[in-house]
Chains A and B, each alone.
Chain A
Amino acid sequence: MLAKDSPIVIQARVIMAIVLRDMHSRYGRTFFGTLIIIAWPLSHLMMLMLAFLITRRIVPIGTDPAIFVGTGVLPYILFFYPGRMILFSIAQNKSLLGLPPVEPTDLIIARCIVEINAAFWVTAIFGLILYLFGVNPLPHRPVDAIMAILATIYLGFALGFFGAVMYGLVRAWLAIHFLGLIGMYLSSGVFIVPTSLPEKLRDLMWFNPLMHSVEWLRSAYFDSYGYGMLNVGYLLGYATVTLFLALVIERATRGRLMIEH
């Protein structure tokens, strides 16, 4: 009789094994391969920032264009990459479901760990780059900034989880998911201040949880910013309900997710 490990130990072991496999198989097994996981979203972020800074020098709030656009673009990147990459976690590793200890949630959680790890590094290196260019990246309210960043990653994780389950069941979900991500990006106020827009448009934007992420992060940098638009409860509630729905659908359709090879 073999020594028995508890289910939680088995799951942790399986998830860590998939994390390492995921990193090696997606980006190669060298140090530079691992670096791409961070360099990709970071270069995306820097390009968006540069594009804004080259085309527009005057910002609607604050005195530093880099801080204004950075506080808009960073939430988008921290949300978009987990939201996009987690989507493929089941589809790209479906053959592993033939192994008895591996379940669909293990594939999703493993991909989440890879992406959340990358998101933390992107944030840290982005702050360092701003500092090296003479911009002070430290916010007035650091707790708010940290909470906003964590909430944004949580939102990306929840949407990615939901997307992974839906994409595992319906191939057409891919288009819906990406259109949704693009729509959320365009209506999140990355390059603009929502209060400067017409009221009807603003009311529609309010339903976009990513807008609340941007507003929350900006409120940590700019005094009196975010009042009237920011609703932290909505952002966290949206992510939690999405994650809950994803877990319910995954459990209800696990049998189908496992055989749709």
Chain B
Amino acid sequence: MIKFDDVLKFYQIRGHRKVVLNHVSIMLQAGSSYGILGVNGSGKSTFVRLIAGSELPNSGRIQRTIRVSWPLGFAGGLHPSLTGRENVKFLSRVYGENARKVIDFVEDFSEIGPYLDAPVRTYSSGMLARVAFGLSMAINFECYLIDEVMAVGDSRFQQRCRTEFMKRKAYSDLIMVSHDVTSVREYCDHGLVLTDGNLHYFHDVDDAIELYKRINI
């Protein structure tokens, strides 16, 4: 369960206050997946970072009773001068996972071969994305956060990402930001539409998509 209690989040941009969440209260239940829709700049990514805990609200409280992932494919936690293997070990330690198991999974999934023992700064963007995605899949989360990126690499690898992701979906929830309404309909049970600092909840994801289409003209 993730509970937002009277959460206010704003940014001060050149003296102008941009409100992302205007005293929002909502409870995202465990066992359900949510799709977040909104026009560009409405604050969907900020909402995801607030859920992750990598950003804090200006006021109000956010409570999490489940283990939430970082946004899928996030590579910021990888240190450029450490090898892929060392970075994987580090993240395994942070999450209290068996490092051997996580390394084996990432090694097999990312298909980057001996590069896993090379410093991350030598990786191409594709290799970096594969390792980052593999890491997200190797660590067990109860809720996965997706900010547009659901798959990386070429079409074959993208298919592999989707297959792996569907396996996780069987026992984990997901909270997904996407402009792709087909994906939202496919993966999510409920919908949320973020507009002008207000978060509208829809039990039926199709109702959320309908509102989104109306405001996104």
B38-79 vs A: 1/0 string, CB under 8 Å?
A: 000000000000001111111000000011111000101101
CA of A16 to CA of B82, assembled, Å: 17
Q: How large is the interface on B (under 10, 10 to 19, 20 to 34, 35 or more residues)?
A: 20 to 34
Is A44 in contact with chain B by the CB < 8 A criterion?
no
CA of A163 to CA of B126, assembled, Å: 38
Contacts beyond the supplied A13-B94, A99-B94: 16 A-B pairs with Cβ under 8 Å: A2-B66, A14-B94, A17-B90, A17-B93, A17-B94, A20-B90, A21-B86, A24-B86, A96-B76, A96-B77, A98-B74, A100-B68, A100-B69, A100-B70, A101-B95, A259-B55
Is B22 in contact with chain A by the CB < 8 A criterion?
no
**B57 x A98 contact (CB < 8 A):** no
Which A residue sits closest to B95, measured CB to CB?
A: A101
Q: Give the residue among A24, A99, A101 with the most B Cβ atoms within 10 A.
A: A99
Q: Which of B76, B82, B142 contacts A25 (CB 8 A)?
A: B82
- Residues of B bordering A, CB below 8 Å: 52-58, 66-70, 74, 76-77, 79, 81-82, 86, 90-91, 93-96, 140, 142
Is A255 in contact with chain B by the CB < 8 A criterion?
yes
**B70 x A98 contact (CB < 8 A):** yes
What distance in Å separates the Cβ of A110 from its nearest Cβ neighbour in chain B?
A: 11
Q: Which of A25, A95, A97, A255 contacts B81 (CB 8 A)?
A: A25
Which B residue sits closest to A9, measured CB to CB?
A: B96
**A1 x B86 contact (CB < 8 A):** no
Q: Which of B55, B70, B140 contacts A99 (CB 8 A)?
A: B70
CA of A96 to CA of B140, assembled, Å: 19
Is chain A's interface secondary structure helix, strand, loop, or mixed overall?
helix
Residues of B within 8 A of A254 (CB): 56
Is A5 in contact with chain B by the CB < 8 A criterion?
yes
CA of A96 to CA of B95, assembled, Å: 13
Residues of A within 8 A of B54 (CB): 97-100, 258
CA of A16 to CA of B93, assembled, Å: 8
CA of A98 to CA of B140, assembled, Å: 18
What distance in Å separates the Cβ of A113 from its nearest Cβ neighbour in chain B?
A: 14
What distance in Å separates the Cβ of B102 from its nearest Cβ neighbour in chain A?
A: 13
A248-261 vs B: 1/0 string, CB under 8 Å?
A: 00000011001100
**B81 x A2 contact (CB < 8 A):** no
Which A residue sits closest to B56, measured CB to CB?
A: A255
**B86 x A102 contact (CB < 8 A):** no
CA of A16 to CA of B81, assembled, Å: 19
What distance in Å separates the Cβ of A6 from its nearest Cβ neighbour in chain B?
A: 12
**A101 x B81 contact (CB < 8 A):** no
Given A24-B86, A255-B57, A98:B76 Cβ within 8 A = yes
What distance in Å separates the Cβ of A12 from its nearest Cβ neighbour in chain B?
A: 10
Residues of B within 8 A of A20 (CB): 90, 93
Q: Which of A2, A24, A25 contacts B67 (CB 8 A)?
A: A2
Residues of B within 8 A of A14 (CB): 94
**B94 x A102 contact (CB < 8 A):** yes
Is A140 in contact with chain B by the CB < 8 A criterion?
no
Q: Give the residue among B56, B70, B82 with the most A Cβ atoms within 10 A.
A: B56
CA of A97 to CA of B30, assembled, Å: 25
* Segment 89-139 of A: residues with Cβ below 8 Å from B: 95-102
What distance in Å separates the Cβ of A179 from its nearest Cβ neighbour in chain B?
A: 30
Which A residue sits closest to B69, measured CB to CB?
A: A100
Residues of A within 8 A of B53 (CB): 100-101
Residues of A within 8 A of B90 (CB): 17, 20-21
Is A29 in contact with chain B by the CB < 8 A criterion?
yes
Residues of B within 8 A of A101 (CB): 53, 94-95
CA of A101 to CA of B58, assembled, Å: 19
What distance in Å separates the Cβ of A60 from its nearest Cβ neighbour in chain B?
A: 47
**A24 x B93 contact (CB < 8 A):** no
